[in-house]
């Protein structure tokens, strides 16, 4: 499948608004339910001991993890079970928008309740920054903030809706970004509301 043109771009951030239609979103949601059944969501703490407001799990060779020892990738769920494989429905997005020859090592799954946030941060725990980061939004709308490679750089915020995909490569690969807030009731995809964000990364 030919790579479509992004609907908008901003400093290396490529936005594919409405990339997944409702049927594709529902299929992806159902695949993720099976991942979560095998690797349940957990509530992490930062290296400073502060609880994160998101709940998370992962699929793939590695899972992203944080505790008082710091931010890192681990090869098993905290329960000791292997991470499930990344669903084909997720890899299909990566194959079209990023690469067919190099697949991601990790699919981080973050669940945002209506009160959850994600502070400005860089994705820099990987060994290879040449490959972009791909982000998929499902469920309620989220106010996504993006900046530059320095924390003090100016930021801009955009609303991401269910089915939107963002590719962060080039100048945006190490740009600061985060989620300021969730807008409850803006999607009926997830029972009980909330937002799921998938972040696909090449680690090695």
Cβ(107)–Cβ(73) under 8 Å? no
pLDDT at 22: 98
Strand partners, 82: 76
pLDDT at 47: 87
Query: Is the confidence at residue 141, as pLDDT, over 90?
Result: yes
Query: Is the confidence at residue 1, as pLDDT, over 90?
Result: no
Strand partners, 8: 15
Cβ(95)–Cβ(200) under 8 Å? no
Strand partners, 106: 60, 201
| For the chain, domain boundaries | 8-201
Note if the pTM is more than 0.85. Answer: yes
Cβ(173)–Cβ(148) under 8 Å? no
- Which class would CATH give 8-201? mainly beta
pLDDT at 181: 97
Q: Which two tokens stand for residue 204?
A: 């090695």
């Amino acid at each position: 499948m030919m790579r479509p043109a992004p609907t908008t771009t901003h400093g290396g951030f490529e936005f594919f608004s409405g990339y997944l239609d409702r049927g594709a979103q529902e299929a992806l949601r159902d695949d993720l339910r099976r991942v979560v059944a095998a690797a349940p969501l957990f509530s992490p703490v930062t290296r400073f001991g502060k609880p994160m407001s998101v709940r998370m799990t992962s699929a793939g060779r590695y899972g992203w993890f944080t505790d008082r020892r710091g931010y890192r990738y681990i090869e098993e769920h905290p329960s000791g079970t292997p991470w499930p494989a990344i669903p084909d429905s997720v890899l299909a997005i990566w194959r079209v928008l990023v690469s067919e020859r190099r697949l991601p090592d990790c699919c981080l799954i973050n669940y945002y309740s209506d009160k959850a946030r994600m502070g400005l941060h860089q994705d820099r725990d990987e060994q290879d920054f040449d490959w972009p980061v791909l982000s998929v939004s499902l469920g309620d709308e989220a106010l996504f903030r993006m900046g530059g490679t320095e924390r003090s750089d100016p930021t801009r915020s955009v609303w991401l809706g269910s089915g939107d995909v963002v590719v962060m490569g080039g100048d945006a690969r190490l740009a600061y970004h985060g989620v300021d807030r969730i807008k409850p009731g803006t999607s009926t995809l997830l029972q009980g509301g909330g937002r799921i964000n998938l972040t696909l990364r090449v680690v090695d």
